[in-house]
Amino acid sequence: MCGIAGILAPFPPERLRRAALALADAQRHRGPDGAGVQVQGPVALAHRRLSIIDLEAGAQPLSNEDGTIWITFNGEIYNYQELRHTLLQRGHQFRTRSDTEVIVHAYEEWGDGCVQKLRGMFAFAITDTRRHRLFLARDHFGIKPLVYLEQGHWFAFASELQAFHTLEDAAVDLDIRAIDEYLALQYIPAPRTVYRQARKLPPGHTMSVDFDGRVQGPQRYWRPEFRVGVDMPDGEWMELFEATMRDSVRAHLVADVPVGAFLSGGLDSTGVVALAQELTREPVHTYSIGFRDPAHDESAWAREAAERLGTIHHSEMLEVDALDSLSALVQHYGEPFGDSSAVATMAVSRLAARDVKTVLTGDGGDEGMAGYHSHMAWLTAARGAGGEFPARPSVQTWQGMIHYCDPALRAQLWQGNHRGNTLLPIESFEAAWAEARDLGAVQRLQYMDAMTYLPNDILTKVDIASMSASLETRTPLIDVPLWDVLTQMPERLNVAMNPHGTLSGKHMLKRLLSRYFPEPFVHRKKQGFAVPLSRWFSSEGEARHLVDERLMGSGSMLHTLFDPTAARTLLDGGRYGPLWVLLVLEEWLRQMQSHAGAADPLSLASETVHLQESPMAPAERPKVLIVADVPNWIFERHARTLQTLLADEFDITVQYHTEDFDEDAWDLIYVMEFELVPDEKFTQPWKYVTAVRSHVSWDHLAAPMLARFLREHFQQTHVVSQRLHRELVPWLPTITTISHGIDGALFNYAPRPPMQGRPLRVGWAGNRRTAVKGFAEFIEPLAALDGVELVFCGYADRNLTREEMAAWYREVDVYVCASQSEGSNNTLLEAAASGCAIITTDNGTVPEYLRHHEEALIVPRTREAFAAAVMQLRDDEALRHRLSVAASAAVLPAWTWSVKSEAYRAFFRDALVHQDDARRRMASTTHTGRRWILRCTTALEAALAHNQFDEAMQMVEQLMDVDSGNPVWMELRTMLADGAALTAA
C-alpha cells in the first residue's frame, strides 16, 4: 500500500524529478517505508512505499527487463501468483516476487486489457517508452484513489488531491458546481473535484496521455452487472455465497506482515472477522471505536463478537475531543468531505496502526447485499402504494431519499451570482440511473450505491483516513468474484422479512452469521458507524461553541458563498448533518486562506483559488446548455464528449429535453435535434442553435417549411451530412455541415485472424426494429447463408458500454448497415475504424468517407445485394483484408472527435459573435406573428401534401402579406404557378 505520483511535461529531467518527488513527499504518510523516482523521457514517476508484500525487493518505481516500461503502483493484487505462473509460461522473466512486477509483465502481454486480468485493489501509472505514452488505471470498484491535474503544458497525477499544492505553477479555480454537489451528497462525486482543473479517475476506468500531451479517455473497462443467474435451490446459492466469500477473505489475508481487522460490531465486519479467524492459525487482532452515546455505540456488539470468535480485541471510547482532528481530516482529504464517520475511522486507524500495517474491513456489504435503510425505505414505500413502483421512477426521487441538503435548502444557502445557477442534475447519478433502468427495484438501488456512494464516500473515507495513519485497509466484501455471485443472486435471498416482521436486507449473510451468533445478535436494528453530532452540537453540547464560532461568527469564510441566516436556521432546527457538512467546508476554506505562504509540505502558497467570483461567469467561459434526448443515448454521449473536449473555452452543461430551463441563465443553448424543445419555449431565439440529423426527424415537412421553422426558432443550424446540406441550403443559405465523430483511441484498427474453417462473422448493431434500420428485411436473412454467422447486439437487455462495443467490433469480420438514415451512422464509423470490412448502402454520410470497392462494398438496398456482397467477402479473404485496412484508414483520424470537435467549437463561437445581429433580425417578427406563420405553414404543408394547389396559393399569398421579406414565399408562388417545377421539387 503506497502513495503514487508523477508528472508529464516538457521539462528538463532534474525539474521533472523535483516535481515528482514533491508530489510524493506530500503523501509521505501513505508510504513511510521508502521512496523512489524514475524519469523516462518527459515523464517522472514517484512512489512512497508501505511494505506489505516482498519487503526486500518490491521497491518502486519498477521496470521490465529492458527498462522500456516503468510502473508506480498503489494497492494489492490478490491473484498475482496465478498471473505470475501464466506469464512465466509465456516467456516472461521476473526479478522479484512482488505483485507490482506482475502488473508490468501483464501490461507487456495484454496491453490496456491487463486491468481485466487483475483481482484486487489498485491505482497505477505506467510509462511506456515503446508507445510514447503514460497509462493510468484504477481498480474496478475505486478502492484506491487516483486524481489528476491538467494544466496548459503539463499533466500530473497523485493518490491524494492535496499533493498538487506542492507544484509552484499549478493554477486552479474553485468549481462551484462541485461545491453544490458536496452540499447535496456530503462528498464530491467523481470525476469532479473541488477544483475545475483537477479530476478523479472514475472506478473501473483507464486513461492515457501521449508524450506530446494528448489525453485519451477516461475509458471504462468494467462495471457491476446485475442480472438473473442460473436457477438454483436456495441451499446451493448459500453454499456458493459462503465458498466465494471465504475465498475472498483468504485472498485478502495474503501478506508478509500481520493482518488485523476492524470490528465495529456490525454484521459486515463481523462476518469478515468470523471467516478470517477460521482461516488463520493465530488469533486475529481486532479494533473498534465506541461512544458514550448509546444511540451511536456498537462497542458492546463488537466485544460480544470478539469474545465468541476468539479475537484479541482493542477498543477505545471516542470523546468530543475527537473533533480536534477536524483540521487534519480536511487537510488529508484535500477537498470538502462531509461524512462525519471519517472522524471515527481516523481514530480506529490510529489505534490499529500501533500493532499492524494492514487490516480487513467490512465495507461494501451494504451495497452488495442491500443493507441500507434507504434501500428498505424505497421498497417499503413502493409496497405501501400497492406493491408496484411508479412506472417511471426518477433519479431525483432517489436523491430525495439520500441527500443532506435538499434543493430548497441549497437554494437558501447560496447567495449572489451563485443562487439559482448551481442546482443542476448530478451527471454521475443521471448516468448510473440510466444504466440501471432495466434492473429490478432493489438491484437498481444497489447499482446506484455501487456506482456513486460506495466509491465516492465509503471507499474514499476509509482509504484517506487509514492511510493518514500509514495503515492499509483491505475489503473482502468488495471483490469481483464475490460480486459476480451477489449480482446474479435472486433478490429474495437478500431482501425478506426478518423475525420482527420488518423488511430487511443481507439475509444470506445473516444465515451465515447464525452459525456463530444467536438471533438477537443477527436480527437487530442496523445502527451504522456514525459520530454523535446531535449530542455534541445541541444547545448544551460540548461542541456547540465550535459551531457558533465557525459558522455564525463574523470571521466565517462561508459568508463569501452563503447566506449566514441559513446556517442559523439549520442550527435552530437541529439539522446537525447539514451543519457538519458546512463545518467541514468552512475548515477547508480557512485552510485555503491560512496556508498561503506557509513552509509546510502541504502549502498552498503556489496556488490561486478564486473564492470571490464564480468560475462560471460568462466573462471567463460562455455558459452553453446542450439539450439532449434521453440518458445514455447517442445524443447524450455526443453532448458529454463536447462538454469535455470544449471545456477549455465553454462552460457546458448537459440536460434532457424533459427538464425545464431558464433561457436567461445561458449564453447559448444547443438543442441537439430541432424538435426537442417545444415551440412555446422560445422567447429568445437568438440564443438557440440546433441540428438536423436525418430525414426521419422531418419527413413530415417540405424542405422550404423546415427551413422557415429553423430560421424563426434558431439563430444557426447545422446538418450532419453533405446530402442534407444540398437539400436545405437553397432555403436556408446560412446552414452549415458538422458531422458526428467517434473516439479514435477506443475504436481503432485490429487485424482479424484467418477464418480457417470457422464461419464468417457478420455483425449488425441497431436500436429499433423499423423499416428505416432494415434488419428484418435485409440483414436477418444473412444468417441462413452457408458459412455465415450473424452476430448482432441490437435489442439486447441493455445498451453495451462503449468499451464493450469496441471489443464487439474486434470480434466481427464484416459489418453490415442497411439504414436509410441520412445522419452520420456512428456504429458504421466505429466499425470502419475498428477494421471491419463494410457492406452498406449509399445513405447518410457514407459517400463522404467510403468509396465503393475501395473502402467498402456499397450496394443497393435489396436482400439479394446484401447476400451477394457477404458471399463475396466470405470467399475472398484478400478483398476482405484490403477493405478492412482501407475502411479504418478512411475514418481515422479524419472522423475522430479530436477533429470534429473543432468544427463545433467554431459553430459555438460564431453563434456567440452574431447574437446581436440575430436578435435584431428575429425581433422584426413578433412571437405572436411567428406562431401565426407556423400555423399557416402547417396548413400550407397539408395543402401541398394533398395536391390542393389553389388552397396552397392562397396560403402563400397570405404569408407574403405578413412576411414580405422572406424569399421562400416568392419562390413557392412561382413554383405553384408552374406545376412541373413543383413536381420536380
Q: Which residues does the annotation mark as catalytic?
A: 2
Count CB neighbours of 974 within 10 A: 12
Residue 344: what residue type?
A: A
Give the bridge partners for 503, in sequence order: 497
In whole angstroms, give the CA distance from residue 320 to residue 302: 21
In whole angstroms, give the CA distance from residue 460 to residue 456: 6
* 3-class SS of residue 59: coil
Nearest 10 degrees: Cα torsion 577, 581, 582, 583: 90
For residue 458, what is the DSSP state? I
Give, to the nearest 10 degrees, the angle between helix 927-945 and helix 949-962: 160
In whole angstroms, give the CA distance from residue 299 to residue 297: 6
Take residue 907 and report the three cell numbers written for it. 459553430
| DSSP labels, 566-589 | HHHHHHHTT-HHHHHHHHHHHHHH
| DSSP labels, 676-695 | SS-GGG-S-GGGEEEEE--G
Give the bridge partners for 209, in sequence order: 134, 215
Cβ atoms of 650 and 684 closer than 8 Å: no
Residue 314: what residue type?
A: H
> Which residues touch 869 (CB under 8 Å, ≥6 apart)?
839, 857, 859
> Which residues touch 886 (CB under 8 Å, ≥6 apart)?
854, 855
Three-state SS for 32-77 is ECEEEEEEECCEEEEEEECCCCCCCCCCCCEECCCCCEEEEEEEEE
Q: How many angstroms separate the Cα of 395 from the Cα of each of 224, 403, 449, 559, 629? A: 19, 12, 12, 31, 16
Peptide bond into 61 cis (omega under 30): yes
* Residue showing cell 473516439: 743
Count CB neighbours of 404 within 10 A: 21
> Which residues touch 373 (CB under 8 Å, ≥6 apart)?
526
Cβ atoms of 339 and 187 closer than 8 Å: yes
> Which residues touch 229 (CB under 8 Å, ≥6 apart)?
488, 489, 490
In whole angstroms, give the CA distance from residue 101 to residue 84: 9
Count CB neighbours of 900 within 10 A: 21
In whole angstroms, give the CA distance from residue 483 to residue 425: 29
For residue 525, which of 804, 328, 266 has the smallest C-alpha distance?
Answer: 266
In whole angstroms, give the CA distance from residue 603 to residue 589: 14
Take residue 206 and report the three cell numbers written for it. 483507464
* 3-class SS of residue 210: strand
Take residue 784 and report the three cell numbers written for it. 441462413
Peptide bond into 218 cis (omega under 30): yes
CB-count exposure of residue 746 (10 Å: 0-12, 13-18, 19+): buried
In whole angstroms, give the CA distance from residue 789 to residue 791: 6
Q: How far apart are the first and last CA of the chain?
A: 71
Cβ atoms of 470 and 29 closer than 8 Å: yes
Element (H, E) at 890: helix 877-891
Take residue 342 and report the three cell numbers written for it. 471519517
